Structure 1
Amino acid sequence: MDLEQLFNDNKEQSIEGRYLTLESIEPLLNKLNTNNQLSVIGESVLKKPIYSYQIGQGKTKILLWSQMHGNESTTTKALFDFLNVLRNGSVLAAELLDTFTFYCIPILNPDGAKTYTRVNANEVDLNRDSQNLTQPESRVLRAVFDSFQPDFCFNLHDQRTIFGVDSTGQPATVSFLAPSYNEEREINESRLKAINLIAGINNVLQQYIPGQVGRFDDSFNLNCIGDTFQALGAPTLLFEAGHFREDYQREKTRKYIFMALVSSFTILSENDIVDNGIDKYLNIPQNKVVFYDFLYKNVKLNYDGIEKITNFAAQYKEELIEDKLFFNAYFVEIGDLEGYYGHFEYDAKEAEYKDEYGGFPKLNQKADFYLGNSAKFVNGLIKK
């Protein structure tokens, strides 16, 4: 199967970028609602509708939800791309619809999506509310789980640009986790199904992004929804959409999440389960915090008249201003920074740092500065 071509043919062109709200997807949902597949299954704190979209008539039931964290939209885009595959009339679509019933919640946290925040309108992280169920969005998801009784759960998220694949210098473009179901992180039948499936997905993705697939930490926390659903006996996969170089809008990562979704269901439908899945899963390198957005090396800094050659780093803050998302770079670290990488790296070759405030970058200061007499940096990037 040519997954690149499949993505190009089915990419949903009406949505793009990082800021994706309920208002962004409602016209699309209504367009897809050709046979009463769309339902309102609850309301957010601010009384925004939470939608589900159900399609397929197969006996294997798949529950997928995205934007549990409102500012994590990449998997929502990929989910709509995948729904386009299911509706394109192809042989693949017919096979998947005959094998599976898909129950999708494309934005579980519409209030957080609107304000571009991780939390909901009550400032609660829904992914830490699976036991107490204090929030209406958490109760909606749990009610769906109890009534639908899925055979597999797909918990769809984004992760920050700080994560790399162990210490390889490669960004963790896509990461996975088969969540633990107990403190001992044991592997039972349910978790093994998720592990084997992730191992199969990784085999596929290595053909497209070799060395850029990571494995998320599996520390047990029953307050997390994935751990809860795994403990309740439903094989659960955590997807984490991460960074691909120069892809801050995550349109390339979107493609790889799409590939992972398609691969998941072709593997399951063909019963193409990998051998030695546990070993292959554990051989996926773990995520590690090793990246900054910007890393400047061998810079001459002036500490009250004392010169020092060192490194410093800057990181984007994603700031929503009048419903537009801006990536603004600020200084976050100064020092040796051994073992860290930058998605953008610049060797100053001992050029002197200057800015309008003096000769020293201050933490949380906007990354606008000069290195030497000719290199001007605006919002972290060199201005040509």
Structure 2
Amino acid sequence: MFSFVNMKNMQLKELFQEDFYSAIKMQEVTGRYVTNKDLEKVKSYFGDKIDFQEIGRSVKGKSVYMTRVGKGKIKVLAWSQMHGNEATTTKAVFDLLNTFINESGNKVISSILDSCSIFIIPILNPDGAEAYTRINANSVDLNRDLQQLSQPESRILMQQYQAIKPEFCLNLHDQRTIFSAGSRPEPATLSFLTPSKDPERSIDDSRRQSMCLIAGMAEDLQNELQGRIGRYDDAFNINCAGDTFQNLNIPTVLFEAGHFPEDYEREETRKYVFKALLSCLYQIAHLQPDTSGEESYFDIPENQKLFNDVIIRNARIGNENSEISIQFREVLGEKGIEFLPMVEKREKRISNYGHREIDAKGLEVSLPDGSEISENVVVNKIVINNRELEVKYR
């Protein structure tokens, strides 16, 4: 069994400074919509400094690429955008690659590159990325296809796993804005999971290694994300990638990039994913025989679904006192991703927290055309006692 060294190392703390991140952030790729076109920009930016190999093609014939950095004995396989509309971790991976290239002389970075060989698939589902959907072009969720392997993208991932034989797997995702870190009114900006390996959710040495990594990342980021780190549900599903690889006794860590206040483009969250990846890889590079981080892992609060994007409190609609919960629906438009405010519930009392809360102070609330607010309606603007108020994010 192993435990891991976390950021008590002052050199790693230096890499967490704002000026360091600002210098290495890949400004060429920002926002929520990231596709193979953006990957081509990254490839052009790096030139021959990083070799991106085509490892297969998607349903629609788009290239799936993988790169390798480092020359060490510990092999790590990481993949992002298994779900096409989950690109925050892809952006953080680009930042990580930029760090490996431009800061290779740094002691922390060189120790990672000397100890590890890191294989990264930045966009596993390029068709889903272009269409901004969770699923692939055959309407299959790739993260439910790791046993059947019915899709070319699923087969690509499994083929690379079998060829590389990694000691660790990093499964990189986004999660919705609805998640809180536990029961407190704090969004889950980052969530982690060591997937279960069986229906009993058994804990063996490989799961303990994943738990230690997650506990170390949570400790390294606790000062910056106080109360905003969650633990994802570990219900077992052998069809999922993480559960499949954990079932094969490979320590696997699921990353979930979530919401940071007012950061719907997920540029702040991107920064924290980058820092978590650095922490994770630094720990892997400095394996030490010892004990656990198991207890600390279970101290991380489990995610709950306690948030809406907007909640209107103390509204009067007709003769009723109401509260209204609104959830943004992400839609691909001509200018990128649009956030359409959809009414989710209209009830006397909404128990959720709102990322934005509007107090109507008992005044009449309606739509600009004078109609009542009802469920499943888009509300870009509302009227409170004849005063028009913008609800839409942008």
Q: TM-score, normalised by structure 1?
A: 0.94
Match of 1:371 in 2: 384
Q: Structure 2 matches for 1:1-384, cutoff 5 A?
A: 1-2=13-14, 3-4=16-17, 5-34=19-48, 37-88=51-102, 89-91=104-106, 92-271=108-287, 276-302=292-318, 307-322=319-334, 324-358=336-370, 360-367=372-379, 368-374=381-387, 376-380=388-392
Displacement of 1:268 in angstroms is 2.3
- Structure 1, unmatched stretches of 5+, are none
CA distance in 2, matches of 1:113, 1:156: 14
SS of structure 1 residue aligned to 2:48: coil
CA distance in 1, matches of 2:123, 2:112: 23
The structure showing larger relative contact order (alpha-carbon pairs under 8 Å, at least 6 residues apart) is: 2
* Residue type at the aligned position of 2:340: N
C-alpha contact 1:353 1:359 (8 A) present in aligned 2: no
Normalising by structure 2, we get a TM-score of 0.92
Deviation at 1:9, TM superposition (A): 2.1
Any gaps of 5 or more consecutive residues in structure 2? 1-12
Q: Are the counterparts in 2 of residues 366 and 379 from structure 1 also a CA contact under 8 Å?
A: no
Q: Which runs of 4+ in 1 moved over 6 A?
A: none
Contact 1:294-1:380 at 8 Å conserved across structures = no
Between the aligned residues of both structures, percent identity stands at 42
Cα separation, 1, equivalents of 2:248 and 2:291? 26
Change (3 A) 1:184 1:284: same
Hey, what's the Cα distance between the residues in 2 that align with 1:192 and 1:265?
A: 16
Residue by residue over 1:305-335, the C-alpha shift from the partner in whole angstroms, topping out at 9 and shown as x without a partner, is xx11120111111111236211111211111
Considering only aligned residues, what root-mean-square deviation do their CA atoms show, in Å?
A: 1.7
What secondary structure is seen at the aligned counterpart in 2 of 1:34?
helix
Q: How far does the alpha carbon of each residue in 1:48-105 deviate from its partner, in whole angstroms, 9 at most, with x for none?
A: 0000011110000111100000000000000010111111132233221111001000
Amino acid at match of 1:151: E
Query: What letter matches 1:80 in structure 2?
Result: F
- Residues 266 and 296 (structure 1 numbering): CA distance in 2 closer, same or farther, change over 3 Å? same
1:197 and 1:273 in contact (8 A); partners too: no
Partner Cα distance (2:289, 2:363) in 1? 55
Q: Deviation per CA, 1:7-29, whole angstroms, max 9, x where unpaired?
A: 22211111000000101111212
Give a deviation string over 1:261-307, Cα, whole Å, max 9, x none.
Answer: 001112222337896411111110011111100001010011xxxx1
Kindly provide the amino acid, as one letter, of the partner of residue 59 in structure 2.
V
Q: What SS class does the counterpart of residue 14 from structure 1 fall into?
A: coil
Distance in 2 (CA, whole Å) between partners of 1:76 and 1:369 is 36
Q: Which moved more, 1:361-370 or 1:263-272?
A: 263-272
